[in-house]
């Protein structure tokens, strides 16, 4: 039994791969990782930018689509859906064997729609219908416009990966959007069991910002602890919500738990362990989506123990201590969400520019 199999079997946490590319899908790497215990895949515009602009694997598709007269977005759309669909097909046996518990692949709506509820809903519907697979999740950011979109999509039976959450308020908004979407679905007499969702709570980016402010305040003790503390408090809130009567009423009708998903779990600070944001956030009904390097480090030397609900009171004290140091944690998390949307939008447009340049080069050769 591999480390990833033990992570799931003994501790109830699913390891997903936070990466996708044509090379790992068709070269057998993804299938090998699935056999070693990977239970899902997530993607985002930055990942697709690296995959498409960083290799020649897509040149045949680019040339084919160029002849059809497709615009740059149309080419990206076809390629990304192709990769996501192929990955989902590889994971479909796991989806079936787990009765929909895992085996999902996530594809994000355009980050340009982060402040557009109607546009997000329309694009999510289009992607869901075009991919036409039950083990797809559509990623929607937990922005003010994204929350009602999540609620609507869940009510329609579309699986959602709610992303770019940094605060407890973000988590609560997403959790109750999921509940409200399921309640609307139940009221309409629709089945709940096949609807799945995860709540992607970002981790390491928080330490990247908070550590700098702690250093400026002359505090070393709290450095490298706040992102983990924040996630532990989100998990406590998750436990409270699923223990409540409102969720239990839905669970009795077959609703699936919306699992917290730990995202941004690669270690950015070389002074910290390369599996810091893995070993400290292990617990039932959770997912950790890992970049390939972090995934391989976990498989090599990750230590497994239930840690997600250890020292929760201490986690609360650490977050509270920030205010005494003059650090506005609410502002940090709000700013990080705005920056996250902007970063994905930048990557998305960089990707479109890369596709346009590659197409121009292919056209010139022909």
pLDDT value of residue 268: 92
Q: Reduce the secondary structure of 240-274 to three states and give it as a string.
A: HHHHCHHHHHHHCCCCCCCEEEEECCCCCCCCCCC
Q: Which residue has the higher pLDDT, 204 or 62?
A: 204
Could you give the CA distance from residue 306 to residue 299 in angstroms, rounded to a whole number? 17
H-helix or E-strand containing 173?
Answer: helix 168-187
- Indicate whether this model's pTM tops 0.85: yes
Q: Please say whether the beta carbons of 255 and 193 come within 8 A.
A: yes
Could you give the CA distance from residue 301 to residue 3 in angstroms, rounded to a whole number? 9
Q: Please say whether the beta carbons of 46 and 347 come within 8 A.
A: yes
Q: Please say whether the beta carbons of 108 and 78 come within 8 A.
A: no
Q: Please say whether the beta carbons of 254 and 192 come within 8 A.
A: yes
Q: Please say whether the beta carbons of 119 and 126 come within 8 A.
A: no
**Which segments of 72-219 does DSSP mark as H helices, in order?**
72-97, 117-131, 146-155, 168-187, 204-216
pLDDT value of residue 326: 96
Q: Which residue has the higher pLDDT, 48 or 252?
A: 252
**Residue whose token pair is 């497994």:** 304
Strand-pair partners of 199? 162, 260
pLDDT value of residue 225: 98
pLDDT band at 342 (very low <50, low <70, confident <90, very high): very high
Could you give the CA distance from residue 327 to residue 329 in angstroms, rounded to a whole number? 6
Task: Encode pLDDT of 94-114 as tens digits.
Answer: 999 999 999 999 999 999 999
Could you give the CA distance from residue 35 to residue 198 in angstroms, rounded to a whole number? 23
- Say yes or no to pLDDT of 144 above 80: yes
Sign of CA dihedral 121, 127, 130, 135: negative
pLDDT value of residue 65: 87
Residue 113 DSSP class: G
From 312, 313, 288, select the one nearest 13 (Cα to Cα).
288
From 91, 74, 101, select the one nearest 25 (Cα to Cα).
91
**Residue whose token pair is 């994204």:** 146
From 175, 173, 167, select the one nearest 233 (Cα to Cα).
167
What percent of the chain has pLDDT above 70?
Answer: 100
Strands (DSSP E) found in the chain:
13-17, 38-41, 104-108, 136-141, 160-165, 197-202, 259-263, 286-290
Could you give the CA distance from residue 284 to residue 143 in angstroms, rounded to a whole number? 27
Sign of CA dihedral 87, 92, 95, 98: negative
- Say yes or no to pLDDT of 366 above 70: no
pLDDT value of residue 61: 86
Could you give the CA distance from residue 342 to residue 117 in angstroms, rounded to a whole number? 17
Q: So which residues are the catalytic ones?
A: 139
Task: Encode pLDDT of 193-234 as tens digits.
Answer: 999 999 999 999 999 999 999 999 999 999 999 999 999 999
- Say yes or no to pLDDT of 89 above 80: yes
**CATH class held by domain 3-365:** alpha beta
Task: Encode pLDDT of 23-49 as tens digits.
Answer: 999 999 999 999 999 999 999 888 888
Q: What's the average model confidence in pLDDT over 108-122?
A: 96
H-helix or E-strand containing 341?
Answer: helix 329-365
């Amino acid at each position: 039994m591999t480390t990833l199999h033990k992570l799931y079997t003994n501790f109830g946490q699913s390891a997903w791969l936070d990466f996708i590319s044509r090379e790992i899908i068709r070269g057998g790497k993804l299938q090998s990782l699935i056999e070693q215990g990977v239970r899902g895949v997530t993607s985002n515009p930055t990942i697709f930018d690296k995959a498409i602009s960083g290799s020649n694997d897509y040149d045949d598709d680019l040339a084919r689509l160029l002849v059809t007269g497709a615009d740059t977005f149309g080419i990206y759309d076809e390629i990304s859906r192709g990769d996501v669909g192929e990955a989902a097909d590889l994971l479909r046996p796991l989806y079936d064997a787990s009765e929909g518990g895992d085996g999902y692949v996530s594809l994000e709506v355009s980050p340009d729609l982060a402040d557009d509820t109607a546009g997000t809903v329309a694009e999510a519907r289009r992607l869901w219908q075009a991919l036409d697979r039950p083990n797809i999740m559509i990623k929607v950011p937990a922005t003010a416009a994204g929350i009602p979109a999540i609620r609507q999509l869940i009510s329609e039976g579309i699986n959602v990966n709610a992303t770019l959450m940094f605060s407890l308020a973000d988590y609560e908004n997403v959790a109750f959007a999921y509940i409200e979407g399921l309640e609307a679905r139940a009221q309409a007499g629709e089945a709940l069991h096949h609807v799945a969702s995860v709540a992607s709570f970002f981790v390491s980016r928080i330490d990247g910002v908070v550590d700098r402010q702690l250093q400026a305040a002359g505090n070393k003790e709290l450095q490298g602890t706040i992102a983990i503390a924040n996630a532990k408090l989100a998990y406590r809130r998750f436990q409270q919500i699923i223990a409540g009567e409102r969720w239990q009423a839905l669970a009795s009708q077959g609703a699936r738990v919306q699992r917290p998903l730990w995202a941004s779990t690669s270690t950015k600070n070389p002074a910290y362990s390369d599996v810091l944001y893995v070993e400290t956030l292990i617990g039932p009904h959770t997912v950790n989506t890992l970049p390939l390097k972090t995934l391989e480090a976990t498989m090599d030397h990750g230590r497994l123990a239930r840690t997600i609900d250890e020292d929760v009171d201490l986690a609360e004290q650490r977050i509270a201590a920030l205010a005494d140091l003059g650090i506005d944690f609410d502002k940090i998390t709000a700013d990080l969400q705005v920056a996250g949307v902007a970063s994905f939008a930048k990557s998305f447009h960089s990707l479109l520019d890369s596709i346009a340049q590659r197409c121009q080069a292919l056209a010139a050769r022909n």
